[in-house]
Amino acid sequence: MPKPKTTKADKKETQYRVRIRMYRQGLGDCFLLTFPKGTGEPAQVMIDCGVVLGTEKPNVVMTKVAQHISNETKGKVDALVITHEHWDHLSGFTKAQAQAVFEKMQFGELWMAWTEKDGQPLAEQLRKDREAKQAAARAAKERLAKSKAKGAKERAQRMNAVLEFFGAAKGKDGKEGGEGAEGTAGALAFLKRKIANQRTFEPGGTPFTIPGVEGVRVFVLGPPMDAQMLGSTDPRQGEGYGLAVKSMSLASAFAAGLGIEERSGDRELAQPFAASFRRAIPTQPGDLYCRPKNDWRRIDADWLAVGERLALQLDRDTNNTSLVLAFELMDTQEVLLFVGDAQAGNWRSWEALKWKVKNKDGENVEVSAFDLLERTIFYKVGHHGSHNATLREKGLGKMKNPELVAMIPVDEKVAHDVKNWKHMPLPALRDQLKKQCAAFIQADTNRVEGVKPGTKRIESKPLYFDCFL
């Protein structure tokens, strides 16, 4: 791919502490952070690489992005960050998209959340729970798709749209989504095979540095190591920017009711009607309930409609396991905040975090998560600007730096017209970002908005946006 043309402004501005590149592949995350070193090539930190299902020609789009990253980094990335296991953050690493390009590249380290650590008890339990929810939700979706009940197929379609976050409907291995090699699990397995130096991080641990880079340290804020916080995915009343909803845990009931739970007693308890009312065939000539032509009137399968909530819960729970990183530029104490798709419980957990570190003058100081938020100069807006991924007072309200830049990796046309997510990005959140930020950038536009949009070194290219700090 030919390199972008260099402008006069580019030639004048040769010095920067970090260049933040947001790729514009569609509805999905892919960022490249470039940190100059004292000598030699700059250090490259890549964060996620995916695009949502429903994107037109995703293999072409993601191969273009991957090849551009390869050219830009000369085939070497110092650290690859995978925030969480969702298709719009991982799809680029699948065989169906750009795995062939990444296979030829070198990656120094793979950074992941503690939830990917083998042998960690809570991590193992979370994986089991996720697998159970996936199996139950997919089974419910299949039942609804076959049902003739009013609205069943529409519910199945909505469920499928959520389950697609774990991958294509069915891969070449015959397995669905995250269960197969063609899904998110396969993409992550490829990276784990390829990159020998793997690191998993817990919140509140000792801040660490980027290999070969001086004056930058990284704080880990999330995900929390608390099951209750992880399960808390939506903002409470007044905590976010609207549209708060409740979620519920139904995996066990669904597994039992759908016959994928081993214990027959659980299967019986999960049924909506007693056995005496569940007749497979008519017992009398006048019994119309089970006749095939009246199938659409039956309510036996209506409880499966709650499977939508189960699928949404699965989606949100996975978002809440996002690795959250704050990169501190130590000379100015400014912070770059990357939250993945972290939702409410992940954000709330940061309030308890504190670190004892040395400042640039070598003095011992205590740093809190709120300190980092107040010094944030760049914010990667969580979950494509969704209602449940940016808290108000204890989130964006803490980011008081007058030079704050915010970027949303989103494609409204795909979100609204293809996925039917009419509130992505949430208008109230976007309006607040425009009022509060010096510069605000949405990936699918060529506009730089905000309070002082012309004061930041931001450049727009067809394939990416650059922000120089």
Is pLDDT of 32 > 70?
A: yes
Residue pLDDT, tens place only, 59-82: 999 999 999 999 999 999 999 999
Task: Please identify, among 280, 296, 315, the residue that sits at the C-terminal boundary of a domain.
Answer: 315
Is pLDDT of 241 > 50?
A: yes
State the pLDDT at residue 346: 93
State whether 397 and 292 are in the same domain: no
9 within domain boundaries: no
State whether 288 and 421 are in the same domain: no
Question: In the chain, how many domains are there?
Answer: 2
Query: How far, CA to CA in Å, does 212 sit from each of 37, 45, 112, 216, 352?
Result: 7, 12, 20, 10, 31
378 within domain boundaries: yes
- CB burial of 279-301 (b: ≥16 within 10 Å; e: otherwise) equals eeeeeeeeeeeeeeeeeeeeebb
Query: How far, CA to CA in Å, does 452 sit from each of 337, 413, 431, 448?
Result: 20, 27, 15, 9
State whether 34 and 103 are in the same domain: yes
Task: Please identify, among 267, 289, 315, the residue that sits at the C-terminal boundary of a domain.
Answer: 315
Whole-number average pLDDT of the chain:
80
State the pLDDT at residue 264: 42
State whether 199 and 303 are in the same domain: no
State the pLDDT at residue 344: 86
State whether 233 and 257 are in the same domain: no
Cβ distance 50 to 79 under 8 Å?
A: no
371 within domain boundaries: yes
Tokens 């770059």 found at: 336
145 within domain boundaries: yes
6 within domain boundaries: no
State whether 152 and 301 are in the same domain: yes
Is pLDDT of 137 > 70?
A: no
4 within domain boundaries: no
State whether 239 and 387 are in the same domain: yes
State whether 340 and 377 are in the same domain: yes
Query: Is pLDDT larger for residue 2 or for residue 199?
Result: 199
Mean pLDDT comparison of 73-82, 227-236, 416-425, highest-scoring range: 73-82
CATH number at residue 34: 3.60.15.10
191 within domain boundaries: yes
State the pLDDT at residue 268: 45
Task: Please identify, among 255, 286, 315, the residue that sits at the C-terminal boundary of a domain.
Answer: 315
5 within domain boundaries: no
Query: Is pLDDT larger for residue 329 or for residue 262?
Result: 329
State whether 241 and 347 are in the same domain: yes
Residue pLDDT, tens place only, 296-307: 455 455 555 555
State whether 322 and 392 are in the same domain: yes
State whether 219 and 111 are in the same domain: yes
Q: Which domain holds residue 141?
A: 122-177+246-315
Query: Is pLDDT larger for residue 409 or for residue 123?
Result: 409
State whether 394 and 357 are in the same domain: yes
